[in-house]
Amino acid sequence: MSSISSIPAVPAGSQISKVDQALYHQSNLIGDWKGSWTKNGQAVELDVVSIKNGTATVNYTHNGYTERGTATVSQNTITYGDVTLGTRDGTKAALEFAAGTATQSAILTKSTSTANQNPLVGNWIGSTASGSVAIQIQSITGNSAQIQYSILGQTGQGTGNVYAHAVDLGNVLISSTDGVHATVTYKVGQQTLSLAVKKFTPPTTTTGTSTASTTSVDQLA
């Protein structure tokens, strides 16, 4: 997709692993994307409800009706049937439709309403002398949370239980009171480790004398 062929590179020295990058890209895709087709001005919407590994649950609204289905996720793009959405920063996205010779394109904006969003939702990353920590809380509905994690080389995913300011997934517990800093409690055998993590926010492009470098989507695979 030419309109999203590059995204800001991870700043040098940040030591973000490829696993962390993948979680970051997936988190950027989650949300309700709205806009209109450039050719006819009709409204189009792609609501990315949740992502697990390389698949996502989406609601696709076009031509006045909504269909729900499963999409394919690849790096910072998501494909559902004949439409593909990609985003650089998790705020603006390019949507392209292609079926035979028929094509359409649109620029979508993610809904900014966060009034009811639990501050635990997002990417949490950190590191220790033993390795990196990356936890992605994809969504929270009621007392259930969709979560993926990579902790010191161990990975997992599932549905966790939400308790006030914490999400519990059996051997992994993450808690935060400010939505920025969190503590991860992780059980390894008979040991319980406490690890500090911080919510990951995307790098921004600076203006003036300094600009962020870019890299192709394929290079971030």
Question: How far apart are alpha carbons 180 and 167 in whole angstroms?
Answer: 15
| pLDDT interval class at 216 (50, 70, 90) | very low
**Are the C-beta atoms of 44 and 36 separated by less than 8 Å?**
yes
**Are the C-beta atoms of 7 and 89 separated by less than 8 Å?**
yes
Class of domain 17-110: mainly beta
Question: How far apart are alpha carbons 82 and 74 in whole angstroms?
Answer: 15
Residues 6+ apart with CB under 8 A from 180: 198, 199
| Residue type present at position 202 | P
pLDDT per residue over 78-128, tens digit each?
999 999 999 888 889 999 999 989 999 999 998 765 545 688 988 899 988
pLDDT score recorded for residue 3: 46
What mean pLDDT is predicted for residues 157-163?
Answer: 89
Report domain extents, the chain.
17-110, 122-199
pLDDT score recorded for residue 184: 92
pTM to 2 decimal places: 0.50
pLDDT score recorded for residue 218: 31
